[in-house]
Amino acid sequence: MTKLYATLLGLALATGAGAAAPADSAAVERTLDPVFERFMQENHVPGLVFGVVHGGRLDYVRAFGVQDTRTNAPVDADTVFRIASMSKQFTALATLRLRDAGKLELDAPAENYVPELVKLRYPTTDSPKIRVRDLLSHSAGFVTDDHWGDRQLAMSEADFSRLVADGIPFTRAPNTGYEYSNFGFALVGRIVTNVSKRNFADYIGEQFLKPLGMTASTYDVATIPAAHRALGYRWENDAWREEPTPGPGAFGAMGGLATSANDYARYVAWVLSAWPPRDGAESPILRRSSVREMTRPANYATVFPATDPAGCARSSAYGFGVHSQADCVLGFHFMHSGGLPGFGSNVLFVPNRDLAVFAFANRTYAPASRAVRDAANLLVRSGAYPARAVAPAPGLQAMLDVAAHVYATGDVMAEPGAYAMNFFLDRDASLRNADIGALKEKTGACTVPAAPTVTPTGPDGALAGTFEFTCERGSMKVNITLAPSSKPTLQKLEYTQ
């Protein structure tokens, strides 16, 4: 990690992007070991490493099993695994870096940067041209190609050019649905190569891996020292069989990166440092807003049902190289899996808690996402990683004082100038006063918090929130939303127990 970037990351953490875990977090993290040990046993995984990133660092890391079944060399935090499609994040971020530099446009036709696409024959006469944005979000209309794409890592740039020039079949018109395309991300890699005027792997190495201090990470597995390289295996006929290891090529942009837990944690901490939005020095690698842009859902949402009695349904939509998701346990989070012959991996970020969990395994398509999500749920449910509180804007603080005065008097007209024009149209003063009176009979007098923050149950913006008041008989919650006007006024004020 460069001295300049280390300083900037330290500044970001000091201003709220990260916070030290509570003292009991170490004990909680140790309870994750059985989750991953069970995952290894059930899925016949030779070796695995997992990590928890919090507070700008690799807070917990554990390794199990072997990186090589012939030598029985154990996995450790420096063992280098292929992370497969988790590589897409780096390709997407490289594209955003070039966009920020004014060298490409996300809404421009991809053919502007890949000449072989100019003669592309679209499936319908009303098909829009594929944009860079469509390739990044898997909405270009190409067929899902996990099994085929995973076998193309060693394809040369020349062969890839011929493949594109020969014509590409469509499974649907562009921009009409989500379909996961490794070929599409190989095209993104070609865009990075053509626009940056150097191979995408070299560009990512220079602009991301090197400044992050990821010295063990590479797109060329032949350069990994044997003492630190995890070999990939498949489980077949009750035995592990070593998988072939294709070299670097054009499809590496979709899944070619290899890295260690110690290296990857640097990347994860850097991504988490993009939250929350704030003033202050930017990372020299990429603006915080552009890192956050990667997670913005870019296309068609899916809902996954709960998979266990204590769980909940989960929404998901693809951003740029990550799946952006939300559920009742983790709230907003984003993740991505990686699968190749010989390897399976996953990372899950919970940015509003400054928390991430990742795992690398050396068995073909090992479904690491299951264990990683179980681990993240366990950490969040433990209470050791609270959601980041948001300081209220001055206007919201003033309206909180108004809410306290109104509740104390039992009369909304005690603050006649505090309301937006919709307030009494939504519910008149007499009914609001009756509601307050009924609640006061249950709670008694209440006290406004001395240093209020927006609680996780409310919106995470500075102009709305749910606040808890301490009362004579229990507690009471006040939900406030300000109107979008220069003078702070209440468009919403609700009291609940």
Residues 165-192 pLDDT 10s: 999 999 999 999 999 999 999 999 999 9
Residue range(s) in the chain whose domain bears CATH number 3.40.710.10 = 3-95+197-381
357: which strand partners?
52, 348
The class level of CATH for 394-496 reads: alpha beta
Question: pLDDT at residue 199 above 80?
Answer: yes
Q: What is the pLDDT of residue 453?
A: 53
**3-state secondary structure at position 491:** strand
Confidence tier at 461 by pLDDT (50, 70, 90): confident
Q: Model's pTM, two decimal places? A: 0.90
Single-letter residue type at 221: V
Averaged pLDDT for residues 344-369: 98
Q: Is the pLDDT of residue 468 over 90?
A: no
Beta bridge partners of 314: 304
Outline which parts of the chain fall under CATH 3.10.450.
394-496
- Distance, in Å, from the CA atom of 401 to the CA atom of 411, rounded to the nearest integer, reads 14
Q: Closest Cα partner for 302 from 330, 327, 282? A: 327
Peptide bond into 276 cis (omega under 30): yes
Distances (CA, A) of 15 to 58, 59, 273, 293, 451: 19, 19, 10, 21, 18
DSSP 219-234: S-GGGS-GGGBPPPEE
pLDDT tens digits, residue range 72-92?
999 999 999 999 999 999 999
Strand ranges across the sheet with 314-318:
73-74, 57-68, 47-54, 355-361, 343-350, 331-340, 323-327, 314-318, 302-304
- DSSP 8-state code for residue 274: T
**CATH-assigned architecture of domain 3-95+197-381:** 3-Layer(aba) Sandwich (3.40)
Which pLDDT tens digit goes with each residue over 434-443? 999 999 999 9
**Confidence bin at 452 (pLDDT 50/70/90):** low
**Mean pLDDT of all residues belonging to the chain:** 92
Structural contact between residues 286 and 89, judged by C-beta atoms closer than 8 angstroms: no
Neighbour-count burial for 4-33, b at 16+ CB within 10 Å, e otherwise: ebeebbeebbeebbbbebeeebeebbeebe
Convert the pLDDT of each residue in 391-426 to its tens digit. 778 898 899 999 999 999 999 999 999 999 999 999
